[in-house]
A = this chain, B = another copy of it.
Amino acid sequence: MQDVVLELRQRGIRVGVVPTMGALHEGHLSLVRASRECCDRTIVTIFVNPTQFGPGEDFQKYPRTLESDLEAIRGCGADIAFVPSHEEMYPSGFSTYVEPPSVGARWEGECRPGHFRGVATVVLKLFQAIPAHVALFGRKDYQQCRVIQEMVRDLNVPVEVRVCPTVRESDGLAMSSRNRYLDPRDRQRALSLYRCLSTAMEAVAGGQRDGRLVVEAMHRTLRDGNVDRIDYAALVEPETLQPAGHLSRDVVAIVAAFVGTTRLIDNAAIHVPE
């Protein structure tokens, strides 16, 4: 793979990479399309990365749908699918990891200890194995995007990271490979995350500038929607992911909650007029 990409580069061909864990949906395919717009060749990687799952998380049951993934990749015009084995990615004796940047400390970092260490490590490995010009990620995983952006800056990785908009179902649910875990009743309750973000947007649009009160309203919306556990709901600074108190600049509303045994996350940028 490395040789192929280095040779493409040497021929002046611009390469885009879309790292995924498979179980592809419209969100992933929008990344492939965005890559095709800015690059000559698009590589999609499919690897369910064990090091980013904690004990008791859904690594074993994570959906694996390789055949239909490959069909979807072909269908939207990607050029190469890179599907490494576990042994290729983590050979015997593997022991080097990336300690993720501080922007990964809170939220997902607290709820899923070790998650961003696994993400940073596998993404750095993919950026080395596939030295592409551009790498594309979905904004649904907002904190992950920030972790990758900071890692790329800190470690001088020669790749341009592009963050593309969250793709949603018609009723607002953010697309996620984990949505296929939801039965019809859970699918309804899962909308609470989107409603929680809408609550925050409406409160700010209505003039509310006390972050604490907005966050209380977000929690109320989640409880009213009968989610099973709230991991967090917060308003944070877009760069640092530190909680925003008085709202004087743009923020990001972030939320993570369980619906049944399915853990879902979502986020929304909120414009705060000066």
Contact = CB atoms under 8 A, between A and B. Distances in A.
Interface in A127-171: 128-129, 131, 150-151, 153-158
**Copies of this chain:** 2
27 contacts: A2-B156, A9-B9, A9-B10, A10-B12, A94-B154, A95-B101, A95-B102, A95-B154, A96-B99, A96-B120, A96-B150, A96-B154, A96-B155, A97-B98, A97-B99, A98-B98, A98-B155, A99-B99, A99-B117, A121-B155, A125-B156, A128-B155, A128-B156, A128-B157, A128-B158, A131-B131, A131-B158
A43 to B, nearest CB: 14
A252 to B, nearest CB: 18
Interface string A158-190: 100000000000000000000000000000000
A16 interface: no
Contacts of A39: none
A129 B156 contact: yes
Interface in A40-97: 91, 93-97
A26 B158 CA distance: 32
Interface string A95-132: 11111111100000000000001001100110011010
A124 B154 CA distance: 10
A151 B156 CA distance: 16
A125 B156 CA distance: 6
A229 to B, nearest CB: 30
A158 B6 contact: yes
A103 to B, nearest CB: 8
Nearest to A126: B156
Interface string A5-27: 01001101000000000000000
Given A121-B155, A125-B154, 10 more contacts: A10-B10, A93-B150, A94-B154, A95-B103, A96-B99, A96-B154, A96-B155, A128-B156, A129-B156, A131-B158
Contact of A155 (B101, B124, B150, B156): B124
B158 A2 contact: yes
